[in-house]
Amino acid sequence: MTEENEFGTPIPFDDQDGDVEPSSPEVDEAPEILEDLFLSPDSESSVAEVVEAGEVAVVDDALIQELNDKLVSLEEERDDLKNRLMRSAADLDNFRKRAAREREDLRKYGIDRVVQELLPALDNLERALDHAEKTEAGANIAEGVRMVSRQFVSSLEKHGVVQFDARGEHFDPQKHEAIQQVESSEHDTGVIVEQYQKGYFLHDRLLRPALVAVAKRVEAPQDNVSSEEDQSQPVEEESIESAESEE
């Protein structure tokens, strides 16, 4: 039964005997636990206490060094893989460009062997036309055959095959092939004076060089000049003698 004081207020049970309720032991130990959870900044211990989710984890210096070394190793491996990836991408890009050039070259120059087989037939056709034009009987036939030859050349030009005439040009080893050297007083050394076979280009590539004869400069013979000087001397002597007889 609860007692009341003189004012009619109930007196607690603990206060009736004059005793104070003892505090809980967990409350008394709380400050000690909190002190253990956090390190003092002045501690010189090599052990670091990490508080995570209410638990204490201990990490020593050796473990930290091992983790740092592993991190450095992983970074180096990442950089190496990145460099290899960049090199692979560059190689792939170069391969695509090279393949595109090869396809373009095949499209432009893929018929070179076929054309080389046809050119001798065209040469013989032109030689036959030149011979036929020298005779009256073959002049009419030559005109018709020449039309066929022009059609042949025109068909080749549609595929990039172009012939060139080397007569009168200076010798160029890149597109001419000299098979003879001719002495000449009218042409400078290195000038092409005769063409035996026409040259051909396939687009910008030499398909066949022209067979030519190259001039070698020589001075004109001096026989005519000396004979003219000999003939002029008697004329001068006769004029002198006639002048003396008149005097």
Work out the number of other CB atoms within 10 angstroms of the CB of residue 133.
14
Closest CA to 191 of 216, 219, 218: 216
pLDDT of residue 220: 73
pLDDT digits (tens, 9 = 90+) for 140-166: 777 778 888 888 888 888 888 999 999
Q: How far apart are CA 178 and CA 99, in angstroms?
A: 37
* Residue 230 maps to a domain: no
The SS3 call for residue 222 is coil
State the residue for tokens 């373009």.
104
Question: Full-prediction pTM beyond 0.85?
Answer: no
When pLDDT is averaged across residues 224-242 and rounded to a whole number, the result is 51
pLDDT digits (tens, 9 = 90+) for 17-39: 445 454 444 445 555 554 554 44
* Residue 18 maps to a domain: no
pLDDT digits (tens, 9 = 90+) for 94-147: 999 999 998 888 888 888 888 888 888 888 888 888 877 777 766 777 777 888
Residues 123 and 140 in one domain: yes
Residues 154 and 124 in one domain: yes
Q: Which domain holds residue 179?
A: 161-220
- pLDDT, greater one: 198 or 19: 198
Please name the helix (run of DSSP H) or strand (run of DSSP E) that holds residue 194, with its range, or none.
Answer: strand 192-197
Split into its structural domains, the chain has a count of 3
Residues 71 and 122 in one domain: no
